[in-house]
Structures are given as C-alpha cells and as structure tokens.
Copies of this chain bind each other. A is one copy, B any other.
Amino acid sequence: MDRKITINDVAEKAGVSRQTISRVLNNKGDVNETTRKRVLRIIEELDFQPSMQARSMVTRKTNTIALLIPDITNPFFSEIVRGIDRTVRATNINVLLFSTDEEVSREVSCIQLAQNYNVDGIILCSPRLDEINLRKLISSKLPVVLLNREIAEMNKVYSIIVDAQTGGYTAAKYLLDLGHRSIGILVGPAYADSSVKRLIGYKKALSDYAVPLDESLILHIDHQHDKIHENTQLLVKRNATAILAYNDMTAAKIIQSCTEMGLEVPKDISVIGFDGIPISRLVNPRLTTMDLPLYEMGEMIANTLMKMINGEETHTKLTVVLPLLKVGQSTRAIT
C-alpha cells in the first residue's frame, strides 16, 4: 500500500531537513544552488505533490474561490464563468463550482460549504437569497462579489449589475420607433429584481410614446416550467405585433412557436432578445437583442474579487452594465 509522498520523504531522500524542501518549493530564503538542484531532481523523481490542505492550514490561503450560480447550462452564466475562470487562472486561483438551481435552501448550504472550504473569496449570483442570509455572509470577513444583486449600505461588497431598466426601455423604445404599438413582454419571475426593473423601463417607454399600457401583454415566466409556447400564443391572440423576450433563449423559442403557428418573424411579428449570447447570432432570423459583454463581465468580477482578496482598496463598489441594442433580423418596422 503506497502512501502519498510527503515533504518528509523528499527530505529524507535528499538528506536535508524538510524545511529546506519547503524553501525550494516556495523559492523563499536562501538555498545552496547544488542542494536546490538535487532537491528539485528528487521531487521530480518521487513525483512529490505538496498537499494544499496542509499548506492552507498554515498559510490561511486556499487559492480557491467559490462560484455560486443557478445553472451552468445557461449560456448567460457559462460565458461569465469562462471570463472568471480565464482571469483567475492567471493568478493560480481555482474555482469551486456550486450550481444552485436557484433553490434558496441549496444556496444557503452552498455558502456554508464554501466557508467550510475556507475559500479566499466568493462570487454569488442568487436573485432569491433572503437578505438576512446575504447580510450574514457579507458581514463575515470573506470577500464577496455579487452578480445582479444590489444591497444597500454595505460597503464591504462589490456588485456588478445589468441595467435592466434601461435595457427594457431601449428595447421597447426601439420597437416603438419601428411603429409597434402593441408590444408584448415576457419577463422572468416577479421576485427577481431584473424583472421588475425591466418592466419599469418598458412602461416608461410606452408612456413616453403615449401608448396606453395593456397589462394583459405582460407575462411572467418561471425558471423551471417556462411555457413559452402557451405564452406566445396568448400574446399573439392579444394582437401583439412585437415581443420583448426574457432572454435570447426565450426569444429563440418564441420564434419557433410563431413559426409553428404559421407566423413569420419578422414579417408578421417582431421579436427581440436579451443578453446577446453566441446563439443569438445563430438562430434564424438572427436575433435583435440587448447585448451584454458577458465574458468581460466575468473578467471584471474576477479582477475585483482578486483585489479584495489581496486586501487592496477598491474604489468601485458597483458596476452597472448597460445592455446595448444590437439590431438583427428578428425585428422590422410596422407598415
């Protein structure tokens, strides 16, 4: 039964103390060049892998961050995760991934877990987590970055949020400019801040154009059972000439539903997405969407967290990302 090779095995074989091995490992303190070479050779020979656990215990650094997101298969998140991963990688930090499925109980236990792991920092995307648990987390010494979640009077936390209101406004305004007056909107669950904000923007645009608000054109979808098809049918039945989709994935499904109903996009009905994920360019017709710099958002998140971890003061407490209109072929002027 072969035990794992430890620093002691290396020390013994090299005929030096384990402290010297440690010095070689960490390039710290002076080590005789001959000794260093020999130690390195022996490390290689024995295929010695220093234990991060043991190291963490004394350095109080794990070089690991926790990442809590609802669903890794959602391209919105996976793009951001890629940005985060690529960025932290350069600093030898690794990512512990927790998928939460937006279940609050799971989020709470994942946060606990992350703390058990003594991660150096945590990135949290969780629209539903209650304020009490959120504040508790932030009050701990652990550096925290929030994605799409703001919290008042907490200057120990950094948030990056999408300006959903302006996004909703811009998208609606664009359709209004195209002549649409009956615009349906499919937003996310009502508890999500982004849904609320998106609706405010939408309503503001309508009112700016003196278009009376038709509440029946506002529909909410649930993350789990989305019922896009039913909702699209409803909106069509209610004479919507354009639809603001919850996100690009939803937009693609809406277009599909329209096609199945014998409607052509954008000839018969316009559809506009949100997020600007890679797929938005691949569906047919190419989506008009509110584009977000997802990868770059991941970079910003990671960079800020790393600064916090290193104890550097960050002046930025909040980054607001503005979605930009990217015109594709899923919208057109009404005649």
Residues of A near any B CB (own CB < 8 A): 2, 4, 47, 49-54, 56-57, 62, 64, 71-73, 75, 78-79, 81-82, 85-86, 89, 94-99, 112-113, 115-118, 136, 141, 249, 252-253, 255-256, 259, 278-279, 281-286
Contacts and interface: CB of A to CB of B under 8 A. Distances in A.
B56 A53 contact: yes
A115 B81 CA distance: 23
Q: Which residue, of A82, A249, A284, has the highest number of chain B Cβ atoms within 10 A?
A: A284
A137 to B, nearest CB: 11
A53 B255 CA distance: 50
Contact of A283 (B78, B136, B284): B284
A136 to B, nearest CB: 8
A249 B95 CA distance: 27
Contacts of A284: 255-256, 259, 283-285
A19 to B, nearest CB: 19
B57 A85 contact: no
Contacts of A136: 47
13 contacts: A4-B118, A51-B57, A53-B53, A53-B118, A73-B78, A73-B81, A73-B82, A78-B78, A85-B99, A94-B96, A94-B113, A256-B282, A284-B284
Nearest to A115: B49
Contacts of A116: 49-52
